[in-house]
Structure 1
């Protein structure tokens, strides 16, 4: 099968984040094993989702990881013009949920397996396909923990998020938290007898807004847009009716941090402001929903130079969105981003990838394999 045919099969699996993914894992396992790959299916703690790791070549020597996620965001947008889980071709475009983010990369890696299998690789290529990346890179953490049992320490990792086949050396880190405040209900005519959870949350949100303004003062990294770390209040929910004192309010807040700054640490002042409300009778809880570190690969790093040679273009310095690459780097495996498609097409109706982008990605992977031969 070529990359377009494999992509059609992958898109047909509705592997939405947070749901079981056994069918797509089994398809990839069977396909990869048919070309001699050694495949490990590693279920996560959820029990109904799994990562997949496949190796072509000798696993006991350092090689390279091709990393991608099998999950996609839901396809509930009302303006899809075709079934999001049935790949549709129109000219040079292939439409479907995950076509760019990031089943296109998975399809290219799998389409390259026949060529990699017949080449006598002196150093291996590993396929590391994860689950629930769209929920804060949950699945790949378990896969990274298993790496020492699966292969020699890799020389590098190429994370195939959509980048227009232009390598990217850095991205921001991210942390997200949910804060819940519980007060005491009552009739709005007697606010003195209740504890208004929304009023209390307003104080927490005010602290978040002040933090947002403070972050604009730096530290700075000109490679990012914006060039500083940021904070955002994403959701707020609470209250039952206008004349009822609200006894519950929740808010979800995210932080995005430049390299060298802990994203979770950016949330701490806001969480502390909420915690202090307990002194006034409120019950407060907070939950860290997700966290992943920033990626920062030096321009002179061998992996950056390798991708420049494979793509013919100098890697971009940075992007502001996040990927699994920061987790690989934090685990001691140098990582870089490079994949087909465009992040601007992701998470929206009529997501698509171009046939030429698939061809360029497959060539890059096969060229990498050629460098690893005997």
Structure 2
């Protein structure tokens, strides 16, 4: 089964100030600017095995970091920039429409950097349901508890997206319930597009402009998505973080996704478990409780940690950055710069370790 990684990293200069990627985006077709100037995205091509995914991801990062060194820039593996100046978007018609519909809540998205894992479509209904059931695994990569200097949650990025950005349009930005068929998922997408279009028209946007910039495939920002690209089922819940941690999660997620092709997948009770011949998902309401704990408490929640262990994750093997930088109610802009510089250097060291091993 093919799989790939997308990760967004903040770009900073030698003083820790947010800056633009510049010529970093010219390295290959697999790197590009994101929708805000200081954010940079790296995408691996589809890889058939985890070993190929690992080597491709590490080699691409090494190439980018070599160029970043030449430009006196660093890539920062944090879910938010912690604190600092106001971030603006690159101008686009799509963003303009989103801002009119979502209002000021849309601004929260400008401070979020995440990791997306793609898996080739196979047993799509099972894939969608299993990824929904595994959504609490976002806690394994929580990498910033801060937004604009204030502590908001163990996983600030997930909190901002789910609780703030799409607060008034929860079905467009929060986890969806399990499905019985792909057609059921597609009907949900059609309804979300209709709702968004109606809201845009009510906000004074021409309907043709909405239709030119949004489709049912891309009108939602839910943690689990069906994508026409590759084509894949995408899980986009975790934060950006250190590459070794992303790879660990990609390997363990991939193991579960491979297993569902020869295991029975069913929903039952409130515990959940992955065994050799069965993947048991908890009732959806229970998953939502685990997700809330994953966002607010992370791995400090014993319920989340034990649930993830039952679902096949080696929880002790993870070291969420949030645990290392948490502990203050407020981080000043200067302290945030120091954190960004420290973790930019740690990302370089992390890639060097991956190269050696």
TM-score (norm 1): 0.26
Structure having the larger proportion of residues in strand: 1
TM-score (norm 2): 0.27
